[in-house]
């Protein structure tokens, strides 16, 4: 018997799980909705953000939660993806 204090056993790789396919819908939950960003001037009166980004006037910023991260592409933060939303009341 081996007892190691302060660590957990290594996770087993689930080889039965199929790789995610990106053709189907990804279920998510809306956490927060806010209006678009406005100018954010710092103490000196200059813009604090380094990139010049302007949100559309009629736009809304949605914070969403995807409960199963395996349904997302692994290179989501490095590639350009087009996201299409479809809202359905529960």
Distances (CA, A) of 76 to 5, 30, 64, 81: 36, 19, 15, 7
- Better-predicted residue by pLDDT, 25 or 14: 25
At residue 65, the pLDDT reads: 93
At residue 58, the pLDDT reads: 85
How many C-beta neighbours within 10 Å does residue 71 have? 15
Inform me whether the pLDDT recorded for 55 exceeds 90.
Answer: no
Would you say 71 and 26 are in contact if contact means Cβ atoms under 8 Å apart? yes
Q: Residue ranges per domain, the chain?
A: 23-90
Inform me whether the pLDDT recorded for 19 exceeds 60.
Answer: no
CA 51 to mean position of chain CA atoms: 20
pLDDT in tens, 30-41: 999 998 877 666
CA 61 to mean position of chain CA atoms: 13
How many C-beta neighbours within 10 Å does residue 67 have? 9
> Full-prediction pTM beyond 0.75?
no
Out of 1-15, 59-73, 76-90, which region has the weakest mean confidence (pLDDT)? 1-15
């Amino acid at each position: 018997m081996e007892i190691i204090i302060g660590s957990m056993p290594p996770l087993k790789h689930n080889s039965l799980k199929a790789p995610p396919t990106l053709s189907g819908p990804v279920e998510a939950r809306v956490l927060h909705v806010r209006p678009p960003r406005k100018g954010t001037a710092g103490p000196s009166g200059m813009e604090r953000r380094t990139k010049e980004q302007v949100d559309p006037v009629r736009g809304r910023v949605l914070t969403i939660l995807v409960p199963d991260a395996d349904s997302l592409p692994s290179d989501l933060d490095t590639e350009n993806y087009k996201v299409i939303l479809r809202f359905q009341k529960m």
